Structures are given as C-alpha cells and as structure tokens.
Amino acid sequence: MYILGINAYHADASAAIVCDGRLVAAAEEERFNRVKHCAGFPFQAVKYCLGAAGIKPEELTHIAIARDSRARLDKKILYALKIPQMALRRLAPQGKFGAIKEEVARALEIDPEKLAAEVIRVEHHKAHLASSFFVSGFDEAALLSIDGLGDFASTMWGVGRDNAMTIDGAVAFPHSLGFFYTAITQYLGFWKYGDEYKVMGLASYGQPEFKDEFARIVRLEGRNGKPRFNLGLDYFIHHKVGSEISWNEGEPVVGKLYSDFLEARLGAAREAGSVVEERHRNIASSLQSRLEDSVLSLLNQLHRLYGVNKLCLAGGVAFNCVANGMIFDKTPFEEVYVPPAAGDAGLAIGAAFHVNHQTLGRPRSFTMDHAYWGPQFSNERIREALNRKNIADLGLRVAELCDEELARETARRIADGKIIGWFQGRMEFGPRALGNRSIVADPRRAEMKDILNSRIKHREPFRPFAPSVLEQRVGDYFDQSKPSPFMMMAYRVKPEKRGEIPAPTHVDGTGRLQTVNREQNPHYWRLISEFERLTGVPVVLNTSFNENEPVVCAPEEAIECFLRTRMDVLAIGNYLVEKV
Ligand SMILES: [Fe+2]
C-alpha cells in the first residue's frame, strides 16, 4: 500500500509518502524551488518522495489530496451570493484539483494513463488533525486544529481512538483565530506570509494594555458545552471582501484583513518599516494574550468534553509555542503532541494517514518521533559540491573527520565563539531547523544574538533565537521537563540559569526549546554532548540554516550561504570547512 499525500495550491505546498502504514519521506516544495511558502503544485517534492521510497509511479495505490471542495458547501454558496468575487477566486484553483492525477504524472514524467492510484480528497482540517493524531503514538486523544482558513473552516475538534477520528465540531468562515492573528500582524506593519512569528516575539516586550478591547475582537462563548469563539466582525473586512489570499505559484499573499473601525479603536496602523513604539509592543502583547486565552479556553472545554489527558494539536496556530508552553500549567492535559509540520505542509502527511486509517481502516503502526524526512547527501556528493566551488582557491581550510572528531572539533569552535553551519543527514520536514540544517552558536554569550543578526540572519532585534538542550538535562534549565523535540513549546528558563544561557533566553525569560536525544539525532546529540563536556552547558543556540530564503536543502545551497555570509565554520557531512 503506497499512499502519496499532497498539499497543493495552498501555502507550503508539500508531498509525503506512506508505505505500508509508515512515513518514508516528506518535504516542502519551497526547499527545492527556493520560493518561500510556495503555494503551487509540489512537483519536485513528489518526485523526491517516490525516489526516496524507491517505488515506481505505477506502484502507487492512492493519491491523498488535502482539499475537499464539497466541505461546507452551504456556507460557500451563501458567501458566493454575498461576495461573488470571492467565489470566483475560489473557482480558479478548483479546476486544478480536477487534474491532480495529470499533475502527479507530470511531476513523475510519465503518461497519466500509467497511474493506477485512486485519488482521495481529505478535508483540510481533517488532514491537519490526522497529521497529528495518527502519528502521535497516542491510543486516545482530544484533537484540535486551528488555522486561518481551509475548506472554509478555521477550527475543528474531535477525539481520536485507535485508528479512527470522530469529528465533533468546527468553526466556519469568517470566524478565525488565524485571521485574527494575521489581521493584527498586518496592522502592526508586518505583511509577509508567516510574519506572525515576528509579532509573537515582539509581544514579550509589551504589556497587554488593550486587553479589554481585544476581548471584544475575539469573544469566547462556549455553547452547550461545545467550544466556540466569535470574531467581533466590525474590526475586520474579510467577511465583506472575502479572504483575499493569492495561492499562485509563488509566495502566498494575504490581502488586508482589518477594518477602519479597528484603526479608530486602536489608533493608526503602523507603517511597514517604521519605528516600533511602545503602543505597538503593547498591542502585540494584547493580541498574544487574547490568543492564549482563546486557545486555552478551547482546550479546557475540549478536556471537559472528552475527559482524556492527551492532546493532539495542528494547524498554523499550533506554531504559537508561547501558548503551547502554557498548556501543562493552565489545562488538565498531561501529554501534548504537536507535529513538526503543524501548518499546511503537514497536510501532505495528514491526508496520507487519513486515507490509510480513516478511509481504509488499516491499523496503526507508526509514531513520528523525529522530523528528518527530507533529502540527504553522501560525503562523495558533498565533496563534489565543495570541489565545484573551488574552495581551495578561496583560501578555505577543509578537513575530513570521523563523526566523533567532527563533533569534538565543532564543539570546540562553538565554545570559541565561532558561528557554525551544521549540515548533516536528512533535511527536516516543517519550518524548524532541528539540528540537520542548523546554524549553531554559543548560548553563553549574550552578544551572540546581535552577532548572528548582523552577520547572517538580519532579523528584527526583538525576535528570539532558540536553545537546543540535551533531553536528559531539560529539567535542570527549564521549569518543565517534558520533551519538546520539534521546538513547539516555549518554557520558562529557570531564573538561576538565565545568566548561563542568555543568547537563546527571550526577554520574558522563556526559551522556545528543542530537546535532543540520542536516538532521534545521534550526530546533533553528540555535538551538544561535546559542548557540554567542554563548557558544562548542555545547550547550544540553534537557528535555521538560511539567510532570508527557504532553509538550505542541498550542499550547494549550504556552501553558498556559508560563503556569502560571515559564518565562520561549515560542518557539512564529514567535512569541516573553515574561513581562515
Ligand atoms: Fe491549514
């Protein structure tokens, strides 16, 4: 049974392949075509998945596509009458979905007639929920998906037991916590797709001064024991003009979501690129605080509804690691699973597992306990890439080292304050670099954040960097000790440890940590262990290996990023490359 999962014509186009119930490969198209959040068809990701699985296109049994245009048809018709231009915008990709088999055949360079696979559509939020529950390893869990909009819904909940999910409710357009966060992100002058992260970082610098106003922007009102929230629609315009999201081949663009009324209530919107003032910080803080209240309220209602102590989260809002980090303290849930690709890229995995379990009723046999599902490259291939760049002529020093030496020598350089490009093994699936396509630095140096920003990342100064910590030591440094292997939780750094790891400790004393264990990533675990041996600190600073571009995938991209930025060392495969 070979199931190809696809997220297409939506942000973060991606593909995944599930062979006999086990995930074998998954990747986002942006990593291949180098267009951030690319929303077209994942031609190269599909090709990669089949190659990694070693199967022929004719052997595919199912193609699972994360979109079902039949979902919430009544609502869509209602809005089509109200906002004809929105219906027209939605129709354009509809035609493309009819030709999915042809597009897969095009990606695989074969005649569509040769593809015997059955195409199965899976509704957006069901795919989100499946991307979490079916790979969580939990026998039973409450399920919650929250995002901007997918198949005309923004939120869905239910319960998962064994190999089936029961869906119990959804919140439809125009009410959306994702759009709420995006609207205020736009109001604060951040317009690029995915900029919500910046505002989450900024929020920690402010106070929730506008809490009362934000309680009117999102109203929490559980009904008959069912989770519920409503947007104060006066503050928005998407219900009048439609969700103006462009899902063309390039980077997605979201049209303006907030209304003049919102500006009348909160003051003029911030011009992009202008100074960030205290008012903006306080609005960001009020936004984050209202989102936390909303998510935690939904979760507490879900817990009352199902009475189970395990939770699976997905959807773009599940990337809000600050809200996630509060779950253990502020809800009765004791175990939480958030997949590394909680957003729309993960729909490819979710659609495939939904078909495997929910449609075909097959038993579960797989837990996704790591994120390394992308391409990998041999030392020979890396050597060729280095040779092609004529690194000897560039005055670089190259040494070939065994795994142990590479970890030891790299750790020594981190402790010396060098910035390292760490390129090892299979690329991560999902937006977080988790120690295979990472830039690594010394967490003990407070100045490292500014150095990284001035030399490589060029991020806004209010955005934090993340710590990677040995799993067995997490409780020594943070106020929680539950593993967070996918960087999906922000925990408070213990006050006495904040001075020890200032660089990845955010202004509010939290860290969006990644816990690392030996089984999940032996190379990265060895590197951090060596750093601990040298310094006594079982933590390194970890940020994604890129410079205003998608995370590097192939050795050539890593080498180019290393050469064009002021990175000091590149540990790529078994090669240690240094600028001298
Ligand atoms: Fe989504």
Give DSSP secondary structure letters for 309-362: SEEEEESGGGG-HHHHTTHHHHSS--EEE--TT-SGGGHHHHHHHIIIIIIT-P
Distance 238 CA to ligand 1 centre (A): 17
How many CB atoms are located within 10 Å of the residue 574 CB?
A: 16
CA-atom Rg of the chain in angstroms: 23
Q: How far is CA 570 from CA 443, 529, 539, in A?
A: 18, 19, 19
Taking 80 as the threshold, does the pLDDT of residue 392 lie above it? no
Both tokens of 146, joined, read: 């929250």
Taking 70 as the threshold, does the pLDDT of residue 539 lie above it? yes
Q: Give dist(CA 562, CA 366) in Å, integer.
A: 37
Distance 213 CA to ligand 1 centre (A): 27
Distance 246 CA to ligand 1 centre (A): 15
User: Average of pLDDT values for 362-374?
Assistant: 98
Distance 178 CA to ligand 1 centre (A): 9
User: Average of pLDDT values for 460-474?
Assistant: 95
Distance 481 CA to ligand 1 centre (A): 29
Distance 574 CA to ligand 1 centre (A): 38
Distance 126 CA to ligand 1 centre (A): 10
Distance 147 CA to ligand 1 centre (A): 5
How many CB atoms are located within 10 Å of the residue 506 CB?
A: 22
Q: What is the pLDDT of residue 90?
A: 59
Distance 127 CA to ligand 1 centre (A): 9
Distance 123 CA to ligand 1 centre (A): 10
User: Average of pLDDT values for 361-376?
Assistant: 98
User: Average of pLDDT values for 537-553?
Assistant: 97
Residue 353 φ/ψ region, left for φ over 0, alpha for ψ in the -120 to 50 degree band, beta for the rest? alpha
- pLDDT one-digit tens code per residue, 141-192: 999 999 999 988 999 999 999 999 999 999 999 999 999 999 999 999 999 9
Distance 128 CA to ligand 1 centre (A): 7
Q: How far is CA 10 from the centre of its chain?
A: 15
Distance 256 CA to ligand 1 centre (A): 19
Q: What angle separates helix 522-535 from helix 403-415, to the nearest 10 degrees?
A: 50
Both tokens of 156, joined, read: 């869905």
Distance 220 CA to ligand 1 centre (A): 21
User: Average of pLDDT values for 389-415?
Assistant: 93
Please, are residues 345 and 31 in contact by the beta-carbon 8 Å criterion?
no
Distance 558 CA to ligand 1 centre (A): 29
Distance 121 CA to ligand 1 centre (A): 15
Distance 257 CA to ligand 1 centre (A): 17
569-572 and 420-423 beta bridge pairing:
parallel
Distance 96 CA to ligand 1 centre (A): 19
Both tokens of 416, joined, read: 């010396």
Distance 18 CA to ligand 1 centre (A): 20
Distance 281 CA to ligand 1 centre (A): 27
pLDDT classification of 216: cutoffs 50, 70, 90: very high
Higher pLDDT, 496 or 91: 496
Taking 90 as the threshold, does the pLDDT of residue 203 lie above it? yes
Distance 343 CA to ligand 1 centre (A): 6
Distance 401 CA to ligand 1 centre (A): 43
Distance 559 CA to ligand 1 centre (A): 33
218-220 and 437-441 beta bridge pairing:
unpaired
Distance 500 CA to ligand 1 centre (A): 38
- pLDDT one-digit tens code per residue, 222-250: 666 677 899 999 999 998 887 656 666 67
Both tokens of 407, joined, read: 């970890």
Please, are residues 192 and 162 in contact by the beta-carbon 8 Å criterion?
no
How many CB atoms are located within 10 Å of the residue 516 CB?
A: 30
Q: What is the pLDDT of residue 261?
A: 97
Distance 145 CA to ligand 1 centre (A): 8
Please list all protein residues whose beta carbon sits less than 5 angstroms from ligand 1, which is an ion.
147, 150, 344
Q: What is the pLDDT of residue 88?
A: 60
Distance 560 CA to ligand 1 centre (A): 32
Distance 378 CA to ligand 1 centre (A): 34
- pLDDT one-digit tens code per residue, 61-112: 999 999 887 777 777 777 767 776 666 665 555 566 668 899 999 999 999 9
Buried b / exposed e over 187-216, threshold 16 CB at 10 Å, is bbbbebbbbbbbbbbbbbbbebebeebbee
Higher pLDDT, 541 or 461: 541
pLDDT, mean over the chain: 94
Q: What beta strand segments (E) does 123-231 contain?
A: 140-150, 153-161, 164-172, 218-220, 229-231
* SS3 call for 209: coil
Distance 344 CA to ligand 1 centre (A): 5
Distance 124 CA to ligand 1 centre (A): 6
Distance 244 CA to ligand 1 centre (A): 15
Distance 514 CA to ligand 1 centre (A): 23
Distance 228 CA to ligand 1 centre (A): 18
510-516 and 466-470 beta bridge pairing:
parallel
Distance 245 CA to ligand 1 centre (A): 13
Distance 315 CA to ligand 1 centre (A): 5
Q: What is the pLDDT of residue 97?
A: 66
Please, are residues 406 and 529 in contact by the beta-carbon 8 Å criterion?
no
Distance 479 CA to ligand 1 centre (A): 31
